[in-house]
Protein backbone atom coordinates (compact mmCIF):
# COMPACT_ATOMS: atom_id res chain seq x y z
CA UNK A 1 0.00 0.00 0.00
CA UNK A 2 1.45 3.34 -1.04
CA UNK A 3 1.33 6.38 1.23
CA UNK A 4 -0.69 9.30 -0.08
CA UNK A 5 1.40 12.37 -0.88
CA UNK A 6 1.64 14.88 1.95
CA UNK A 7 -0.63 17.91 1.72
CA UNK A 8 0.88 21.41 1.86
CA UNK A 9 0.02 21.77 5.57
CA UNK A 10 1.51 18.35 6.32
CA UNK A 11 4.71 19.39 4.54
CA UNK A 12 4.95 22.55 6.64
CA UNK A 13 4.39 20.71 9.92
CA UNK A 14 5.92 17.27 9.67
CA UNK A 15 5.17 14.98 12.59
CA UNK A 16 6.34 11.41 12.85
CA UNK A 17 3.88 8.59 13.38
CA UNK A 18 5.25 8.25 16.92
CA UNK A 19 4.57 11.94 17.65
CA UNK A 20 1.04 11.56 16.29
CA UNK A 21 0.57 8.40 18.40
CA UNK A 22 1.69 10.34 21.48
CA UNK A 23 -0.82 13.08 20.66
CA UNK A 24 -3.58 10.49 20.39
CA UNK A 25 -2.59 9.00 23.74
CA UNK A 26 -2.49 12.46 25.34
CA UNK A 27 -6.05 13.04 24.07
CA UNK A 28 -7.18 9.75 25.64
CA UNK A 29 -5.58 10.56 29.00
CA UNK A 30 -6.75 14.18 28.97
CA UNK A 31 -10.30 13.05 28.23
CA UNK A 32 -10.13 10.47 31.01
CA UNK A 33 -9.08 13.18 33.46
CA UNK A 34 -11.63 15.62 32.07
CA UNK A 35 -14.50 13.17 32.58
CA UNK A 36 -13.40 11.44 35.80
CA UNK A 37 -15.20 13.65 38.32
CA UNK A 38 -18.42 13.99 36.29
CA UNK A 39 -18.42 10.21 35.76
CA UNK A 40 -18.45 9.68 39.54
CA UNK A 41 -21.40 12.04 39.93
CA UNK A 42 -23.27 10.45 37.02
CA UNK A 43 -22.71 6.99 38.49
CA UNK A 44 -24.66 7.95 41.64
CA UNK A 45 -27.68 8.60 39.39
CA UNK A 46 -27.16 5.49 37.28
CA UNK A 47 -26.29 7.71 34.30
CA UNK A 48 -23.51 7.64 31.74
CA UNK A 49 -21.77 10.10 29.47
CA UNK A 50 -24.69 10.18 27.04
CA UNK A 51 -26.81 11.64 29.85
CA UNK A 52 -24.09 14.21 30.56
CA UNK A 53 -23.93 15.30 26.91
CA UNK A 54 -27.72 15.63 26.74
CA UNK A 55 -27.80 17.67 29.95
CA UNK A 56 -24.92 19.83 28.75
CA UNK A 57 -26.42 20.76 25.39
CA UNK A 58 -29.96 21.23 26.68
CA UNK A 59 -28.49 23.54 29.32
CA UNK A 60 -26.47 25.31 26.67
CA UNK A 61 -29.44 25.91 24.40
CA UNK A 62 -32.72 25.93 26.38
CA UNK A 63 -35.62 25.10 24.08
CA UNK A 64 -33.44 22.91 21.86
CA UNK A 65 -35.53 20.52 19.78
CA UNK A 66 -35.07 16.78 20.02
CA UNK A 67 -34.07 16.70 16.33
CA UNK A 68 -31.39 19.34 16.82
CA UNK A 69 -30.05 17.46 19.83
CA UNK A 70 -29.95 14.31 17.68
CA UNK A 71 -27.87 16.19 15.11
CA UNK A 72 -25.51 17.62 17.73
CA UNK A 73 -24.91 14.32 19.50
CA UNK A 74 -24.80 12.18 16.37
CA UNK A 75 -26.62 9.29 18.05
CA UNK A 76 -29.60 7.20 17.01
CA UNK A 77 -33.10 8.32 17.85
CA UNK A 78 -33.59 5.14 19.88
CA UNK A 79 -30.48 5.82 21.96
CA UNK A 80 -31.42 9.45 22.59
CA UNK A 81 -35.02 8.55 23.45
CA UNK A 82 -33.81 6.13 26.12
CA UNK A 83 -31.58 8.82 27.68
CA UNK A 84 -34.21 11.58 27.43
CA UNK A 85 -36.96 9.37 28.84
CA UNK A 86 -34.80 8.68 31.89
CA UNK A 87 -33.90 12.36 32.36
CA UNK A 88 -37.52 13.47 31.95
CA UNK A 89 -38.80 10.76 34.33
CA UNK A 90 -36.17 11.75 36.90
CA UNK A 91 -37.27 15.39 36.70
CA UNK A 92 -34.06 16.81 35.19
CA UNK A 93 -35.37 17.71 31.73
CA UNK A 94 -38.73 19.15 30.80
CA UNK A 95 -39.99 18.21 27.33
CA UNK A 96 -42.57 20.67 26.01
CA UNK A 97 -44.68 20.76 22.88
CA UNK A 98 -43.29 23.29 20.40
CA UNK A 99 -45.08 26.64 20.23
CA UNK A 100 -44.57 27.06 16.47
CA UNK A 101 -44.80 23.40 15.50
CA UNK A 102 -46.74 21.13 17.85
CA UNK A 103 -44.92 18.09 16.40
CA UNK A 104 -41.64 19.34 17.85
CA UNK A 105 -40.48 18.72 21.38
CA UNK A 106 -38.49 21.52 23.01
CA UNK A 107 -36.18 20.57 25.84
CA UNK A 108 -35.39 22.58 28.98
CA UNK A 109 -33.47 21.77 32.15
CA UNK A 110 -35.54 21.84 35.31
CA UNK A 111 -34.16 23.41 38.49
CA UNK A 112 -32.75 19.99 39.43
CA UNK A 113 -31.31 19.62 35.95
CA UNK A 114 -29.68 23.05 36.16
CA UNK A 115 -28.12 22.14 39.51
CA UNK A 116 -26.76 18.84 38.13
CA UNK A 117 -25.43 20.54 35.00
CA UNK A 118 -23.60 23.08 37.14
CA UNK A 119 -22.11 20.40 39.36
CA UNK A 120 -20.95 18.37 36.35
CA UNK A 121 -19.50 21.37 34.53
CA UNK A 122 -17.87 23.24 37.41
CA UNK A 123 -15.03 20.73 37.78
CA UNK A 124 -14.51 20.62 34.02
CA UNK A 125 -14.42 24.42 33.74
CA UNK A 126 -11.94 24.57 36.61
CA UNK A 127 -9.72 21.96 34.95
CA UNK A 128 -9.93 23.77 31.60
CA UNK A 129 -9.26 27.17 33.18
CA UNK A 130 -6.17 25.83 34.99
CA UNK A 131 -4.79 24.18 31.83
CA UNK A 132 -5.46 27.27 29.69
CA UNK A 133 -3.76 29.53 32.24
CA UNK A 134 -0.72 27.25 32.37
CA UNK A 135 -0.47 27.04 28.57
CA UNK A 136 -0.99 30.72 27.76
CA UNK A 137 -3.08 32.48 25.13
CA UNK A 138 -1.11 31.37 22.06
CA UNK A 139 -1.31 27.73 23.09
CA UNK A 140 -5.02 28.08 23.85
CA UNK A 141 -5.65 29.49 20.37
CA UNK A 142 -3.54 26.72 18.84
CA UNK A 143 -5.44 24.08 20.81
CA UNK A 144 -8.78 25.52 19.69
CA UNK A 145 -7.54 25.56 16.09
CA UNK A 146 -6.48 21.90 16.29
CA UNK A 147 -9.80 20.86 17.84
CA UNK A 148 -11.78 22.83 15.23
CA UNK A 149 -9.80 21.13 12.45
CA UNK A 150 -10.65 17.71 13.91
CA UNK A 151 -14.41 18.29 13.93
CA UNK A 152 -16.21 16.36 11.22
CA UNK A 153 -17.29 18.70 8.41
CA UNK A 154 -20.97 17.67 8.61
CA UNK A 155 -21.24 18.83 12.23
CA UNK A 156 -19.15 21.96 11.92
CA UNK A 157 -22.15 24.23 11.20
CA UNK A 158 -23.89 23.08 14.38
CA UNK A 159 -20.70 23.49 16.37
CA UNK A 160 -20.03 26.95 14.92
CA UNK A 161 -23.55 28.00 15.88
CA UNK A 162 -23.05 26.71 19.43
CA UNK A 163 -19.66 28.38 19.75
CA UNK A 164 -20.99 31.62 18.30
CA UNK A 165 -23.66 31.57 21.01
CA UNK A 166 -20.95 31.35 23.66
CA UNK A 167 -19.28 34.54 22.48
CA UNK A 168 -22.38 36.71 22.62
pLDDT for 130: 96
For the chain, helix, strand, coil in percent to 5 are 70, 5, 20
Q: Is 92 helix (H, G, I), strand (E, B) or coil?
A: coil
Predicted structure pTM score: 0.83
pLDDT digits (tens, 9 = 90+) for 90-114: 999 999 988 788 888 999 999 999 9
Pairing label, strands 105-109, 93-97: antiparallel
- Fold for domain 18-135? Arc Repressor Mutant, subunit A (1.10.10)
Q: Where are the domains of the chain?
A: 18-135
pLDDT digits (tens, 9 = 90+) for 56-88: 999 999 999 999 899 888 899 999 999 999 999
Q: Which helix or strand (DSSP H or E) is residue 97 part of?
A: strand 93-97
Worst-scoring range by mean pLDDT, 19-28, 100-109, 116-125, 151-160? 151-160
Amino acid sequence: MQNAPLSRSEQLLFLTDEQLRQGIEMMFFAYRGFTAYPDKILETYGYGRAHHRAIHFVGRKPGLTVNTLLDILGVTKQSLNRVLRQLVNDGLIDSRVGTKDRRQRNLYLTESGLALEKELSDAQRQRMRKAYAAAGPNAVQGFRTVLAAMIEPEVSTLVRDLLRGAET
